Amino acid sequence: MTTVHVPAVRTSAADLSVWPASTTEPAPGDLAVSGVPLAEIADRFGTPVYVLDEAEVRERCRTYRHAFPDADILYAAKAFLCRAMVHWIDEEGLGLDVCSAGELELAVTTGFPPDRIVLHGNAKSPHDLDTALRLGVGRVVIDSPSEIARLAAAVGPDGHQKVMVRVVPGISAGGHQKVRTGTDDQKFGLSIADGYAQHAVTRILDQPQLELTGLHCHLGSQITGVEPYLVAVRRMVGLMTRLYEQHGLVLRELDLGGGHGIAYRPGEPALDLTALARGIRGELADACAAAGLPRPRLVIEPGRAVAGPAGVALYRVLAVKHTGDHVFVAVDGGMSDNPRPALYGVRYAPRLVGRRSAAGPARVTVVGRHCEAGDVLASDVDLPGDVHPGDLLAVPVAGAYHLSMASGYNLVGRPPLTAVRDGHARLLVRRETLEDIGSRDVGL
């Protein structure tokens, strides 16, 4: 480990508003996270490289537990997962929301209690379900009618499995059309409007080995307003009321999913967690009182809001190209380590680190090294006009959906991930090598 001593001097809050809270500027042009200079990390581990602030992750877990003291908080593993992250989440008292046998097995073999894990997925494979049952997962969220019979058969007549039903409440919310999952025109869940959700509940009640504990819904991602969640509470309690009237069923749990929006650039909106918690508690209390139902236990599933702001991605500039009115700054990564700009048009705020520049700002587009015109990491951003090959660029808010969505495009290998805390940097996930890639190629 490397130990450094960096004065804890913050620049203006506006400059670093989307960076980890531990970010300091020990010298003009330099940035350090948790006391570790980013330039030092790039030199030690190479680039591209991801940096994750452990203390920031843990603090965000505690913020959720404080905001929702009477709820179960499940970290959405799809945002980012590794063995160290599993330990942090466990030690901070959160549960896990997983979407595959791979995520589940990694968590359990790392020592995470399986009864604090919920398995999601719109198309769970037989292997997913078999692994969940073998490891004793806490809940399986039913996402389609056919899954009920398959799960019941896998459990067997003498077995027992707690389940929830994923409900589509008919609410459009989220930062991009591709991440809006609360409407009836996408692949997830069972609709209230067409009666499929109610029908699924009836079928589950006919399977004695399946115990229905509650309902689940997930509206989408990058939601920055509270109102969609309040509408969801009303509609979900409305469905609970109908189920009670029809079956005498009192459900103990209501999972409202996640999708809590964060800011990727200074000035962008983010979901107010305190307002969300206050609003949901009040709406749930009022709706249940009006229906004459006991309040179910809330379940919340943040992922991006825990990991995203804790991460930074570092790149080396490889080329600077002037084409007409455009300046393209090409780096040694791209869509293989961050496909989100190409998928959703996400915009980032990269910054030159490692040296001080006296040059005025220039409007540039930061692009990747891959063979796609859409391999753009940040469009129309300001960098110093003297940016040149060899410079180091840092991109904040890179802790979620970067390594977890990284690919093998152009066989460049996925970057390593390091953790920083209290002046120390350590490797959590090593760089993928050509030997790693070649070992899977067994066709000769």
Helices (H) and strands (E) in the chain, counts: 12, 20
Under the banding of pLDDT at 50, 70 and 90, the label for residue 189 is confident
Question: Over pLDDT 90: what percentage of the chain?
Answer: 87
Shared-domain flag, residues 141 and 270: yes
Neighbours of 437 (CB within 10 A): 14
Q: E strand or H helix at 132, and its extent?
A: helix 126-135
Quick check: helix, strand or coil at residue 317?
A: strand
Query: Which residues are CB-contacts of 215 (< 8 A; sequence separation ≥ 6)?
Result: 164, 165, 167, 197, 236, 239, 240, 251, 253, 254, 255
Secondary structure E strands in 111-209: 117-119, 139-142, 161-168, 190-191
Binned at pLDDT 50, 70 and 90, residue 31 comes out as very high
Residue position matching structure tokens 């220039």: 362
Q: Answer whether residue 6 shows pLDDT above 60.
A: no
Distance CA 379, CA 376 (A): 7
Note down the domain range covering 351: 32-53+309-439
Q: What mean pLDDT comes out for the span 250-275?
A: 95
Q: Quick one: 182 and 231 in the same domain? A: yes
Same-domain check for residues 216 and 198: yes
Three-class SS of residue 263? coil
Domain boundary residue among 256, 278, 308? Answer: 308
* DSSP 8-state code for residue 292: T
The active-site residue, picked from 61, 82, 99, 371, is 371
Query: Does residue 323 sit in helix, strand or coil?
Result: strand
Do residues 206 and 326 both lie within one domain? no
For residue 204, pLDDT over 60 is answered with yes
In a domain, 12, yes or no: no
- Strand-pair partners of 418: 51, 427
Cα R_g (the chain), whole angstroms: 23
Same domain, 187 and 261: yes
In 3-state terms, what secondary structure has residue 426?
A: strand
**Is 232 found in the same domain as 92?**
yes
pLDDT band (50, 70, 90) for residue 345? confident
Task: Identify which of 23, 43, 4 has the alpha carbon closest to the alpha carbon of residue 392.
Answer: 43
Task: Quote the pLDDT of residue 183.
Answer: 52
Q: Tell me, yes or no, whether 5 lies in a domain.
A: no
Query: What is the pLDDT, as a whole number, of residue 172?
Result: 58
CB 169 within 8 A of CB 192: yes
Torsion angle in degrees (nearest 10) through CA of 199, 204, 207, 210: 180
Closest C-alpha among 172, 189, 288 to residue 240: 288
- Is pLDDT of 12 > 60? no
Q: What confidence tens digit (pLDDT) does each residue in 44-70 have?
A: 999 999 999 999 999 999 999 999 999
CB 107 within 8 A of CB 90: no
| Other Cβ atoms closer than 10 A to 175 | 19
On whether residue 10 sits in a domain, the answer given is no
- pLDDT tier for residue 401 given thresholds of 50, 70 and 90: very high
Write the CATH number for 415.
2.40.37.10
Q: Of 256, 277, 308, which closes a domain?
A: 308
Note whether 58 and 44 are same-domain residues: no
How confident is the model at residue 383, as a pLDDT? 97
Predicted confidence at residue 187, as pLDDT, reads 63
- The verdict on 227 and 366 lying in the same domain is no
Q: Is 82 a catalytic residue?
A: no
Statement to judge: residues 72 and 127 lie in one domain: yes
* Residue 99 and residue 113 in one domain: yes
Q: What is the mean pLDDT of residues 136-164?
A: 95
* Amino acid, single-letter form, for residue 303: G
Write out pLDDT tens, residues 82-133: 999 999 999 999 999 999 999 999 999 999 999 999 999 999 999 999 999 9
Distance CA 184, CA 173 (A): 12
Are both 261 and 336 inside the same structural domain? no
User: CA–CA separation, 22 vs 41, rounded Å?
Assistant: 16
* Residues 236 and 284 sit within 8 Å (Cβ to Cβ): no
Q: Quick check: 7 pLDDT over 90? A: no
Query: Number of folded domains in the chain?
Result: 2
SS3 content of the chain, % helix, strand, coil (to 5): 30, 25, 45
Q: What is the pLDDT of residues 129-138, one digit of tens each?
A: 999 999 999 9
* 17 domain-assigned: no
Cα 35 to the chain's mean position, in Å? 25
Mean pLDDT of the chain: 92
What local confidence, expressed as pLDDT, does residue 171 receive? Answer: 77
* Residue 4: band (very low, low, confident or very high) from pLDDT cuts 50, 70, 90: very low
CA neighbor of 295 nearest in space, from 338, 358, 253: 253
247 and 363 both lie in a single domain: no
Q: Among the three residues 308, 330, 345, which one is the final residue of a domain in this structure?
A: 308
Task: Quote the strand ranges of 237-280, DSSP E.
Answer: 253-255
Give the pLDDT band of residue 1 (cuts 50, 70, 90): very low
Q: Is residue 22 part of a domain?
A: no
In this prediction, residue 348 carries a pLDDT of 95
Single pTM value for the model: 0.93
pLDDT score at 442: 93
Residue 28: CB atoms within 10 Å: 10
pLDDT in tens, 301-325: 999 999 999 999 999 999 999 998 8
- Alpha-carbon distance of 126 to 198, in angstroms, equals 25
CA 346 – CA 397 distance, rounded (Å)? 11
